[in-house]
Amino acid sequence: IIASIQRTIHGTIGKTKAKLGIDKAPREVVEMRREICGSCEFLQDNYRCRECKCIVKDKTLVASESCPKGVWTVHGSSGLMR
């Protein structure tokens, strides 16, 4: 239950950042992330990730977010996106 609460808090912070334009990823990064998520097996109902429960259109906007499966990383980190 604690993990669920932590995930909800993290998601709320991320959604708030996305709505306010805080920590915003560059447009090309957002587009690449959304393209990757759009073909992911964990995408549910075309908008939510079954793995981390995020709303993809919000999570992909935030530079400091990453895919829970490691498919795309925090923008500016040493990891590369596929």
Q: What is the pLDDT of residue 82?
A: 44
pLDDT grade, residue 80 (50/70/90)?
very low
Q: What is the pLDDT of residue 77?
A: 66
Beta strands 43-44 and 48-49 are antiparallel
Greater confidence (1 vs 72) lies with 72
Distance of CA 40 to the CA centre of its chain: 13
Q: Is 28 helix (H, G, I), strand (E, B) or coil?
A: helix
Q: What is the pTM of this model?
A: 0.83
Whether 14 and 58 have beta carbons less than 8 Å apart is answered as yes
Whether 63 and 20 have beta carbons less than 8 Å apart is answered as no
Residue entry with tokens 């957002």: 30
Task: Give kind and range of the element (H or E) at residue 2.
Answer: helix 2-20
Q: What is the pLDDT of residues 13-70, one digit of tens each?
A: 988 998 898 999 999 999 999 999 999 999 999 999 999 889 999 999 999 999 999 9
